[in-house]
Amino acid sequence: MTQGILTILDSRSFASIWFWLLLTLCWTLAGRRVAGVPSDVLAAIRKPQGPDDPAALLLLDWLSLTLPRRHLGQVEAIVMLACATFVLTALFLLGFIYGLEMAQALVLLLLPFAVLYAAELRLCRRLSGLVEAAETGAVSVNDAAAAAAKLMRRQRLAINIGSILAVAVTAWRGAIWIVTHPFGF
């Protein structure tokens, strides 16, 4: 069983077009939505048009639907953190200490997404407060939507910069691997 898993992890990845297509697809899909809200809904919030702007209401409606799905309780968060840490540490050791190419590729693919997921959970916690304030009337709908849109645009910028860095680091590491291991071993 262990030998079978190690054989799969030792497969060629940096030289495979499928790995690069998967990397491109993952980062393309990561930038499409912020906190589950489509980019066109976020783009509609520019300048408020009246006291209850329809675009602001639409954004807050989307957030009220998507934010509860991203809520993690304390126990779930601890279990998820422990599992993710274990998997990433095991892959890191297999890839960079024992030299398994697929494990290196998986670390370079999964680690940025783990950081992105943590940042998204933090953003969702901040957005939940804005949505609650708008629902109770403590903040106007337009102000809450403008603040949420600002936070989400900042998150989108971080995703875009992070995706460029992640792809560049992965391409750099893949090029080094291919040059140092031209026949895959």
Taking alpha carbons only, the member of 27, 60, 80 closest to residue 130 is: 60
Confidence category of residue 114, pLDDT binned at 50, 70, 90: very high
3-state secondary structure of 40: helix
Calculate mean pLDDT across residues 51-77.
80
pLDDT confidence of residue 107 = 93
pLDDT value at residue 5: 60
For residue 40, what pLDDT band results from cuts at 50, 70 and 90? confident
- Asked whether the beta carbons of 85 and 111 are under 8 A apart, the reply is no
**Rounded Cα–Cα distance for residues 183 and 12 (Å):** 10
pLDDT score recorded for residue 92:
94
Residue 139: its H or E element: none
* Residue 181 predicted with pLDDT over 90: no
In this predicted structure, what is the pLDDT of residue 102? 86
CB 135 within 8 A of CB 37: no
Percent pLDDT > 70 in the chain is 90
> In this predicted model, which residue has the larger pLDDT, 11 or 119?
119
